[in-house]
Structures are given as C-alpha cells and as structure tokens.
Structure 1
Amino acid sequence: MNLKTDLFRRTALLLGASLALTLAACGGGEMGEELIPKNGSPKFPAVMLTLVHVNDHHSQLDPFPNTELLIDGRPTRVELGGFARVTSAFKSYGNKDNVIKLHAGDAVTGSLYYTLFKGEADAALMNTVCFDAFALGNHEFDDGDAGLKVFLDHLRNGSCKTPVLAANVKPALGTPLAMTSATRYIQPFSIKTVKGVKVAIIGIDIKGKTTNSSRPLDTTVFEDETEAAQRTINALKLRGLRHFVLLTHQGFDADKAMAAKLTDVDAIIGGDSHSLLGDFSAYGLPGSGAYPTQLTNKDGKKVCVGQAWEYSKAFGEMNLKFNNKGEVQSCSGQASLLIGSSFQRQDEAGTWAAVDEATRQQIVKRLRKSPLRVTEPDATAAETLAGYAGQVNAKKAETIGTASEALCLVRVPGESTNRSGGVAGCETANTLARGSDAAQVVAEAFLAGSLAADIAIQNAGGVRIAVPAGTISMNTAFTLLPFTNVLVELPMTGQQVIDVLEDAVANHLDAGQSSGSHPYAAALRWRLDMSQPRGSRFSQVEVRNRTTGVWAAIEPARNYTVATNDFIASGKYGYTTFGTVYATGNTVNNYLLYTQTFVDHVLAQGSIGRPAAADYSHQSVITAAGVALP
C-alpha cells in the first residue's frame, strides 16, 4: 500500500467516525427521534423558510462606481454593490425569525484587499453579517491549505463563529486544516433551528476544479460531490431531520444535474459559475436562468436552486414553503442587484451628470419592486472596511497608464454569459470570434516580459475583469490579475504547443471542467472548430516571428520557447502537456509576478488598446454547436 493510499484510508476512517461525532456536536442529541412516529409517516410543522445568500465576492469589498444599466429604457449610471451594502441587505432581515444567512464560497482572491491582507479584510467584513454557514470554494485553496487556515483563523477570531462547510473535503490529520481534529476547521454540515424545525445545511466544494485549478495539498481528499451530499443527507435523515439545504460551490449547471440525482434535497444555494439568475433584460443584463430555478429531485419532489451573481454586486432571497410532510410546497424569491440611490444620465451634450432630485426620487420609487434594490451601505461595515481601505487606496491610486478602448472579458468565444456586462463597448463581446481582449493583452504583456520567449500563452480564467476605457491604475492590474503566479519559460516543440491548445479546450469541452482553461496567446494564432473532436479542433496554427513580425505556419519538429504563468505550466487546469514539460525541470522561472508583467507593459506603452485583428489568437471560431462566429 503506497503512502497516499494509506493516508486516504486512514483519513476516511477518521472522518467516518468524526461524522458521527459531528452529528452530536452540531445538535444531534437535541434533534430528537420523537419526530419519527412508531407507525405511519412522520409529521413536521409546516414552515416558511427564507434563505438569503451571496457567493463569489472574491475580495471585492468596494462598490463599482459608474456602472451603466438601463433604467426606464435609458442608459443610467449607478454605484453597484460593495460589501457594506451586502451587510445592509442581510441586516434588513434582522427582525425575522425564519431567515438563514448563507455564503456559497469564493470569498477570497480578486483584489488588493486579498493581496495585502490575505483574507483578514474579507473575514472582518463577513463578520459584520454573521453568516449561518459559509461553504468553501475552489479559490479558498489558491494559497494552499496553510493559506486557507490563515483566512479561517481570521474568520473565527470574530464573534460570529461562522460554520465553514464542505462535506466532500477531507484534510489529512496533522495537516494545517486538521492539526488535531479532522473537523477542526471544516465541518460537513451545520444545523439551524427555524420556528422549532431543524434545517440541515450541507456544504459541497467542486472537486475537479479545486484540485486542478487551485493549490490544495495532495493529501487533502476531495470526494465526489453527489456521493458526499447523499451520504450526509442519509446520515442526518436517520437522526430525524427532513429539511435539507445544499450550500454548494460547483456551478449552476452542476447544481441542476445534482438535484436530479439526490433524494430528500429541498434547495440548493450555489456559487462558482457567477450566474445571474432572474430576468434582468429590461436593465441591459442577460440572465442565466430563472430565480429560483424549480426542478425535481430523485424522489420526484420539488427542489429549488438559486445563485446570486458575483463580486458583492448581488443578493439572493429564496422563500421556501414546506408542508407538514416536510416537503417543499412552493418556492419564490428574487436575486437583486444592490445599488446606490444616486443616478447619472447623459445630457444633450453627451456629458454624464447627476439627475435632478425629482427625477432621482421617481427612479427610487419605481425601483422598489424591481430586481434593482436601492440599498445604503451599513455604517458598521463601512467603518470596518475603512480600517483597511487606506493602505489599499494608496496603492490603488497609482496610475500606470490608460486604455484607449475597453478591453472586454470573455472566456470561451460564443459563451452565453457576458462577463463584461455594464462595461461600455463590450455589449456583444461574448458573441465575437476574437474572444477576450483582456486575456489577449495579458498574453502580449507576458511576451514583452520575457526576453527569450517566441510565444506566450495565458488561460482565460486567470484574467478576472474587463478593463474599461480610461485610466489604468495599479488597482486595475491587481484586480485583473489577482493571483500570485509568476512568469516561467518552457522549451517545447511545435507539436507540443499544438497539444497544449488541444489540452486546454478539451478540459472544458470533453472533461467538463472549468472554461477558465480556454487558451489565449501572443505571437500565436489559429482557427478553432469546437464542433470537431479532440485533436482536430485547431488548424492553421501560425507563429509570429519576434524579430520580423512575419507570420508563418508552426513547425511541429521545431523548438520554441513558451512563456506562461507557473500555474498552468505545472499542468493545472488540464494543461497536461505543459505539466509533462514542466516536470522535467528544464524550465526557467523569471520569478516575476505575472501581475507585474502587465504593469510593466502598460508603463512601457503608456496607452494600450485592442491588438490588430491579425494579432488575435482566435482568427476564426466555430462553436461546439457548429455556429461560425463573426
């Protein structure tokens, strides 16, 4: 038996025992088997339950100013989100006794608040809410198990003692997350009593994406999401519970698929896919589905699914009505965007200016029953944030250049989600063959930062925001590229480069993993047909000579030097061919933070814009459905 197998076996045995202990520790002794009668079906009090929730705030604690939405059919700028507004939204339910407050993961990484404070600022703001449960997301593991422990220590140092949930994550005993106990930091579930009724909240983290796209220890076991969820439901059901809410971080599509496979589940509150559920078409934003999405579980009973977009911009409210059999009778609710009470519109000269007071009051009144929720920031949360904002703002204030036009954010060309929603000039970016301007420019920065590279490759998921036209600050750079990756150079044959591209697309098309693996490149271009099988998707792959600027067909047997970030270079995100080369040790690590390459590139250029059409990596794209993109 090898070491990893033995560790897995011992961890599984320990956690099997710990589940029983946790059942008691989380209130198992007071759940009461008296709810299960000796004869007949169990009876449960009919109850109305409200789940209020956020997900994927990614250290985005400040609001987004000048966000353009349609209000009454007119382009209108608002201040959107900010964690102080999130806190205010949660506190508005303070006088209700049937509310459960939930966070569906990916609290950290994504802004200078994480770069500078490593989760301390996020934990402090989360503790102004006092969540009833927080589910781990994949990005919680970006700085490894030890980095996650730092964040969770900050979270537990507050007065809230928020339960941290992931029924399918098993850290090995003796590692940072389980130094003395397998459930010291992570529990499989938590139990909340609502009007005398016990409600189980079960956490689930995405397995493949976390192990492939973050940095958990090899000894930390990630179990199958559905199996872990059902096992935990079954164990709790034996204790007399009948109300089960899954708090997941695996994406909207995975939540829908899981719902049909599970018995007894009533609701799924999710994250990871940054899905904006609900009808926001009147406000200029595309939705990803209904809120709540109503499905049936394996028992044929109703199960309701919800998610609340991203970056402290939105807030979800799901209302569940249970009958006396403990079944969901109905569900309703809404995801809302949290906005300020000031509005700007263009005057006759095209200048944005605040609307007059009468118009402002009319807008506020008309929005009262809309999915745009006018919300003032919570004073306590704002004061807490101010304690960190000074250092962040000082660094943010450093201007490094300008963008002559918007650099739109796209993962896969043709995707349904417009990740650049609200950024002027990016209204149709996701429908175009060129894909991500932002990822393309980042790849160009890599190439400029490496003196030896022939080409540079960057994965779509490592680029986090669209860059609006105008000033580019240090904050833009660290929000665009928030991770601690460094630039590395790998020697590869032309065939290996083609294999890398095929690996990256197969990761999301064939393996069903994150679309963040989708490739972008500098000095490398191609035609992509995603309707073809693996190995036949890329054609007319060409390399641009760094000296002459002339494009020529890639030579399969020729050696090239490829610059990329060390994360995908090590084989993460399905970049298997990269990983094989990286494992030989025949690489050069520039020890240059990949964010710094972008900063240096902007400083050198002064002003950046979209590359020339001929320099985009995607020269033509056919979607998986066979649609040729413009």
Structure 2
Amino acid sequence: MRQTSRPSLLSAALLAIGCLLAACHSVPPPAPVPATGLVLHIAHINDHHSNLEPLPDFELRLDGVPTRVEAGGFPRLTALFKASSGLPNLLKIHAGDAMTGTLYHTLYNGEADAALMNTVCFDVFELGNHEFDEGDAGLRRFLDHLRQGPCRTTVLAANVEPAIGSPLAPASANDYLQPYLVRQFGDIGVGIVGIEVRGKTMNSSRPLPSTRFHDEVETAQRMIDELRERGIRHIVLVTHQGYEADKAMAARLSDVDVIIGGDSHTLLGDFSAIGIAAAAGPYPTVVRNRDGDPVCIGQAWEYAKIFGLMAVRFDQRGAVASCGGSLTLPLGDDFRQPDRSGTFVAVNAAARQRILAALQGSGARSVAPDPLAQAELARYASRLDDMKRQRIGTASESLCLVRVPGEATNRSGGVSGCENANQLARGSDIAQAVAEAYRQASRLADFALQNGGGIRTPLPRGEVTYGTAYTVLPYTNVLYELQLTGRQLAEVLEDAVGNHLDDGGSDGSHPYAAGLRWHLDLRQPRGSRFSRIEVRARDRDAWQAIDPERSYTVVTSDYLATGGDGYATLARINQAGRSVNTYLSYTQTFVDYLQARGTVARPPAADYSHQRVIGRDGKPLP
C-alpha cells in the first residue's frame, strides 16, 4: 500500500473508526476534510444469504485452546453500522446475495431479509446472482419488501437490462434497478456503480430469457465515463463477481478508485491470532488501475459474520492517495472451552476476562446486538417452529437409508418397508432422491453425486414436513458444480469406496448418484472396483458408457468438492479452478424438489446408481 504524504489525516480518521467500533464512551470529532481532498468511509457487507441469526458454535483458537462462541448475526452487524454512523462521508453498502440459504428465505421469501436490511438503511444494494434464484418475479417481490421500509435503498445493476413490461421494468428500465447512484458530500460527488456477475447469473440462476446481462468490464467503463462527463471524480464500484475478478477488472479500467465486492465469500485481513488462517489477501487489497493509480478493494466474507469499514483518502486530483480500514468479527460473550473429558463448557469469570483480553487486536470482539434489529428478528423467528411442521410433500413409500449396500447394520430399522434395505444392491433410496434433487436444481450438471453419510435419516412413508427435510439433511452444505473428464469420474468413485475399504475412513463416503450408474465389486482392489459406468448426460436421453476423454459437469456438496470423506480427486479439480460454488443450500434444494413434485417415490430400478453389487464375501446382492 502506498504511504500517504499526509499520514496524520488518515491516522486520525482510522482512530475515530477504532473508537467507534470499540463503543467508546466519548468519541473525538473526526479529522476535518481539507478542501483539496476527501476522506470517504465505506461500511459494507455481502453474501449474508438469509443468515439472520448468529452462528451458535463458532470455533476460535486462542493460545492453542479451541473456544466456541456465538458469532455474527444481523443484529450485531446493525449495531456496528450504527456505531460507524458518526463518521463523515459515510457510505453503507451491501454487495449482493441477500437471499437463499436458510429457512428465513424459505418461509419469508425475502421479507425477513428486507426487514433486517432496513434496520441498517443501506445507501446501495447491488444485485447478487442468487437474487434471481426465483426469477425476476421473485426478485421483484424481495425488492418490494425492501421498499416498504423507510430507507429507500438504491438497488444497483448497471449491466442488467430487464425487458420493458417484465417484472423488474413494468413501465421503464429503471423502475427497480439503477446503473449508479451519485452521493453528494458537501460539494463533492461520489459515483457508486453496480455490476452483477454475468455468466453465473445466466447459467446457474433463473432470470427471464428476456433479461439481458451485459459484459461486466465494458459496462463498468461506460458508466465511469458517463460519470466523469458529469464532473464526478470519485468512483466506487459495487460488484458481485468475486475477489479475483475484482482485481482483474481493476487493471482493465480507467478512473476507478474503489471496488467493494461479493460473490466469492472471500475473507480478507489477518485473523490468524484467533486461529483463522484462510484469508485470501490484505484488507483493503490495493492494486493499480489502467492509469496506474491505486484501487482499494474490499470484501466482507459471508453469512453475516464480518463487518467491513474502509477509509479512503483522495488527493486533490481525485485519485486515491491511500486507504486503510478494518474488518470486525462480532461475537457474543458465551465463551465455552473443553473440559478434561473434551466437552465444551462455559468458562468462569476469570477465563472470560482472559479471552476478552486475548481478542484485543485480533479482529474479533464481543458486540451486543442492536435491540431494534434483535426485536425485528424475533418477530420473524417466532414463526419458524410453526414452519417446521408445515407439509411440503408426501413420500408414497419409505425411502430407506443405507451407506454401503450389504452392510451389517440396518440404518432404517423400524421404518416400514425398509426391513432388509441394507442387504439390497440398490442401497440408499433417500440418497438417490437427494442426488436427483441436486441434478434438477443445477442447470448445467450431467449428473449429481451424494455421499451416503451426508444423509442422516430415512424418509418414512407419509407426510413430509420442513422439519423432516431438515432432519434428513441437517448440515449447512451448499452445492458446487465441477468440470471433470470421464477418466477423472472413475477416479472419484474409486476414491469414495477406497476411503472406507482401504484407508480406514468413514463408510459415509460411499457414493450415490443421479444420472450416473455402475457395477461395483467390493472384492476387487482399488482401481478395479467399478465397471460399466454409464451416464445419462444432460443433452442425451439414453444411457451411454462414460467417455474417458469427454468433459462432464457434476453437481455435489461443497463438503465433497473440497475433499471431504476422501474425495481427493474432486479436491484437486476444485483447487485447479474447475468448479463453481452455486451457494444453493443442499437442504433447500431437496425442499424445492419435494414441493415441485408433490409426491416422492423410489426411482425406477434402471435409474439407481448401483445396478449390480458384489459384496466383500463374493456374493451378488439381490
């Protein structure tokens, strides 16, 4: 980062930020802004994905000791936004993907998210790709809820062009979406331009075919040029395209000063003192634009866990002189650490004080939720228990849970229709249904992959409720789409079975699939267990043998995509950049599948992934 030639100004501004975030009893007045420059403060979040409640068991590591505590939650973010409200020249920004991911979205279709966002009153909200998950009409419903509050947040998307007469442009192109906003700070104007990720939104969400998405870089430069012609010297891009794309875009643009981004759920900054070492870069990240001037880039992780606050000082030309700031991970004060048996228990008062002292300077600190936001959240939370009892579909027959066909334990014992499920070649009915839900949710996947252990209970015959679905699939997994060859696919399947037969790992790794089937011989050595692997690709109606050289798309959970349960080949593919995180909740995907079908049953015999299984004893399973 370039050092400013006038360090006292930025230092004073950052001191004011630190005092505000530490909830000082008295806040010194901010440093005066000289006539020759502007200090712009930007408070921002992104990708909260309907995560309104705090995470109950967030784990830190303090002096080597695992420590669990409640973390994040929208009311704590609101408290931090309000604490920053005394800063001069303040912008409040949400960089997209407010929706999709928890029961709050499922039940309230954006209403709860809008209500909590309106406790902040963002200046701008940039559309994320998941804002289009329920089409243009679903997005309009959310934006209508956002408009019902007092805030009048400007919704940005310069490169999104809805057709006139469609839900987002009933009368004119800018009924709901604006290309940019100009905020005046005294006699200085700041232009804020919104850019949506193009390909991902078109391919993995559900916008109307008539809604056009334009090139991100070309649109951004056109908007910047338009603002410059209006005499606006200070340009902030609010993007939803990912951290790496933001850095690449900055180098191709002239006159851009700041990029506040989302989409990649990137953690920046240094949180190593609390055991979080996965940061992708510094906060802010400073790169150069096409003119050679600095560009300050920021992103604030995910799921209402991080609050970003950036300070940018401009020189008299309107170019960035320097930037700084901080990221805050807001915590509760319910710290728990393991006792001698390994059970996490509440710490005593002395340990609590040591923990609070250890957190100083770490980027994490205890923050009390904003009372008004907490009350708003409680209003919506009260209906969730009722929702869990709501019917979402019917199982016409029991879908049995099996990990490995032929296993000794019947995991579906006591479920009518599953009396001998563990001894059948077909294996897990419920894993097949979940995989099919993944495949239908993806607009690109040829087949879907699910591990047997990722599903926790069978699905008994009869009524299916939200609560049932979230018991079957209780984790917070999301779906990834990965590109792989037929040869790599065979390696993935061998990884999955080898994990429990050869490597001593969990048998929860055992694979199930939709749109993919095979013969399996558990007697054979690794590399020879799978044969007659066939795929019913997205563009084909018939089953065909896997082509070792052809490229296919698989949709699966993030757990498997990142190498969980021994899926090492998938991890290498993901690390090589041949994957896309859709951020679709795996449980919500199954809920949507049930609601769309009404009734769910076991698939036809020809569609089961296990077409023939020879057990470890050499006997074919029926």
Normalised by the length of structure 1, the TM-score is 0.63
C-alpha separation between the residues in 2 aligned to 1:556 and 1:359? 57
Deviation at residue 284 of structure 1 after TM alignment:
2.6
Deviation at residue 395 of structure 1 after TM alignment:
3.9
Pair 1:204 & 2:183 matched: no
C-alpha separation between the residues in 1 aligned to 2:307 and 2:324? 14
Identity of aligned residues (%): 47
Instruction: Rate the CA distance shift 1:480–1:136 in 2: closer, same or farther, 3 A.
Output: farther
Q: 2:106 — aligned with what?
A: 115
C-alpha separation between the residues in 1 aligned to 2:535 and 2:271? 48
- Please provide the CA RMSD for this pair: 4.3
Contact 1:97 1:195 (8 Å CA) reproduced: no
Q: 1:298 — aligned with what?
A: 290
- Give the counterpart letter for 1:141 in structure 2: F
Instruction: Rate the CA distance shift 1:192–1:267 in 2: closer, same or farther, 3 A.
Output: same
Deviations 1:74-98 (A, max 9, x none): 1100111111111111111122222
- Give the counterpart letter for 1:336 in structure 2: T
Contact 2:234 2:318 (8 Å CA) reproduced: yes
Q: 2:372 — aligned with what?
A: 380
- Give the counterpart letter for 2:310 in structure 1: M
Q: 1:89 — aligned with what?
A: 80
Pair 1:544 & 2:543 matched: no
Pair 1:215 & 2:178 matched: no
- Give the counterpart letter for 1:248 in structure 2: T
Pair 1:348 & 2:327 matched: no
Q: 2:384 — aligned with what?
A: 392
- Give the counterpart letter for 2:161 in structure 1: K
Pair 1:334 & 2:326 matched: yes
Q: 1:624 — aligned with what?
A: none
Which sits farther off after the overlay, 310-319 or 358-367?
A: 358-367
Deviations 1:137-159 (A, max 9, x none): 00000111111000000001110
C-alpha separation between the residues in 1 aligned to 2:154 and 2:377? 22
Contact 1:295 1:303 (8 Å CA) reproduced: yes
Q: 1:526 — aligned with what?
A: 490
C-alpha separation between the residues in 1 aligned to 2:49 and 2:535? 40
Match of 1:446 among 409, 431, 434: 434
Pair 1:144 & 2:123 matched: no
Instruction: Rate the CA distance shift 1:158–1:447 in 2: closer, same or farther, 3 A.
Output: closer
Match of 2:256 among 240, 251, 265: 265
Match of 1:244 among 221, 235, 238: 235
C-alpha separation between the residues in 1 aligned to 2:382 and 2:240? 32
Deviations 1:394-435 (A, max 9, x none): 44599xxxxx9xxxxxxxxxxxxxxxxxxxxxxxxxxxxxxx
Contact 2:41 2:87 (8 Å CA) reproduced: no
C-alpha separation between the residues in 2 aligned to 1:308 and 1:102? 11
- Give the counterpart letter for 2:518 in structure 1: R
Which sits farther off after the overlay, 213-222 or 357-366?
A: 357-366
Q: How does 1:547-566 map to 2 (within 5 A)?
A: 551-554=530-533, 559-560=542-543
Q: How does 1:426-437 map to 2 (within 5 A)?
A: none
Q: How does 1:3-42 map to 2 (within 5 A)?
A: none
Match of 1:368 among 360, 367, 370: 360
Instruction: Rate the CA distance shift 1:327–1:447 in 2: closer, same or farther, 3 A.
Output: closer
C-alpha separation between the residues in 2 aligned to 1:244 and 1:144? 30
C-alpha separation between the residues in 1 aligned to 2:386 and 2:188? 49
Q: 1:170 — aligned with what?
A: 161
**Which protein has the larger Cα radius of gyration, Structure 1 or Structure 2?**
2
Instruction: Rate the CA distance shift 1:223–1:396 in 2: closer, same or farther, 3 A.
Output: same
Pair 1:56 & 2:47 matched: yes
- Give the counterpart letter for 1:381 in structure 2: A
Contact 2:69 2:332 (8 Å CA) reproduced: yes
Match of 2:183 among 185, 192, 203: 192
Contact 2:136 2:168 (8 Å CA) reproduced: yes
C-alpha separation between the residues in 2 aligned to 1:473 and 1:334? 42
Deviation at residue 45 of structure 1 after TM alignment:
3.2
Match of 1:288 among 275, 280, 283: 280
C-alpha separation between the residues in 2 aligned to 1:473 and 1:372? 36
- Give the counterpart letter for 1:265 in structure 2: V
In structure 2, runs of 5+ residues without a counterpart are 1-33, 391-400, 402-427, 439-444, 458-466, 494-514, 524-528, 546-552, 556-589, 603-608, 614-622
- Give the counterpart letter for 2:532 in structure 1: A
Q: 2:593 — aligned with what?
A: 594
Deviations 1:259-305 (A, max 9, x none): 00011111100000000111223323211111111100001000011
Instruction: Rate the CA distance shift 1:50–1:73 in 2: closer, same or farther, 3 A.
Output: farther
Contact 1:135 1:204 (8 Å CA) reproduced: yes
Instruction: Rate the CA distance shift 1:553–1:137 in 2: closer, same or farther, 3 A.
Output: same
Which sits farther off after the overlay, 190-199 or 245-254?
A: 190-199
In structure 1, runs of 5+ residues without a counterpart are 1-42, 399-403, 405-439, 451-455, 484-514, 530-540, 563-567, 571-590, 605-610, 616-630
C-alpha separation between the residues in 2 aligned to 1:251 and 1:298? 19
C-alpha separation between the residues in 2 aligned to 1:482 and 1:76? 23
Normalised by the length of structure 2, the TM-score is 0.64
Q: How does 1:483-494 map to 2 (within 5 A)?
A: none
Deviation at residue 559 of structure 1 after TM alignment:
4.4
Which sits farther off after the overlay, 313-322 or 551-560?
A: 551-560
Please give the secondary structure, in 2, of the residue aligned with 1:526.
helix
Pair 1:325 & 2:317 matched: yes
Contact 2:94 2:124 (8 Å CA) reproduced: yes
Deviation at residue 369 of structure 1 after TM alignment:
2.4
Which sits farther off after the overlay, 440-449 or 75-84?
A: 440-449
Deviation at residue 333 of structure 1 after TM alignment:
1.6
Which sits farther off after the overlay, 286-295 or 92-101?
A: 92-101
Please give the secondary structure, in 2, of the residue aligned with 1:150.
helix
Deviation at residue 544 of structure 1 after TM alignment:
3.0
Deviation at residue 188 of structure 1 after TM alignment:
0.4
Instruction: Rate the CA distance shift 1:95–1:224 in 2: closer, same or farther, 3 A.
Output: same
Deviation at residue 44 of structure 1 after TM alignment:
6.7
Deviations 1:4-29 (A, max 9, x none): xxxxxxxxxxxxxxxxxxxxxxxxxx
Contact 1:112 1:475 (8 Å CA) reproduced: no
Contact 2:53 2:73 (8 Å CA) reproduced: yes
Contact 1:192 1:199 (8 Å CA) reproduced: yes
Deviations 1:573-626 (A, max 9, x none): xxxxxxxxxxxxxxxxxx9843689xx99x99xxxxxx99xx9xxxxxxxxxxx
